[in-house]
Amino acid sequence: MQLHFHKNFDKTFKTLSLKQKQRVKETIDLFKQNPHDPSLKNHALHGRDKDKRSISTGGDLRLVFKERNNYEIVLFIRVGTHNQVY
């Protein structure tokens, strides 16, 4: 699995608290091991984001991404609270 991060993801990630950054990193590590782990709540989005998916960090933070070739390539686009990313 190749992971890439959009500049908007990186920009927002830098503004997160240390605890939130750690949760995001742990979530991405788990995602690399198994993108369909039930704790991630991986699901397709709808509407204008119908080509994207989202996972949860276990709290209110969400990571929005696009995947290609059955998770061979993943581009993380946004990170933030539920209200911020949707």
The pTM assigned to this predicted structure is: 0.89
Question: Interior CA angle at 42 toward 78 and 27, to 5°?
Answer: 65
Q: Where are the alpha helices (DSSP H) in 45-86?
A: 82-85
Q: Which pLDDT does position 7 carry in this prediction?
A: 96
Strand, coil or helix: 57: coil
Averaged pLDDT for residues 10-31? 95
Q: What integer pLDDT is reported at residue 59 of this predicted model? A: 82
Confidence band of 82 (pLDDT split at 50, 70, 90): confident
Question: pLDDT tier at 54 (50, 70, 90 boundaries)?
Answer: very high
- φ, ψ (nearest 5 deg) of residue 8: -65, -35
Q: In what order do the strands lie in the sheet with 53-56?
A: 2-5, 73-81, 61-68, 53-56, 43-44
All domains of the chain in start order, with CATH: 2-85 (3.30.2310.20)
pLDDT at residue 58, as a whole number: 81
Our CA angle for 71, 46, 8, nearest 5°, is 65
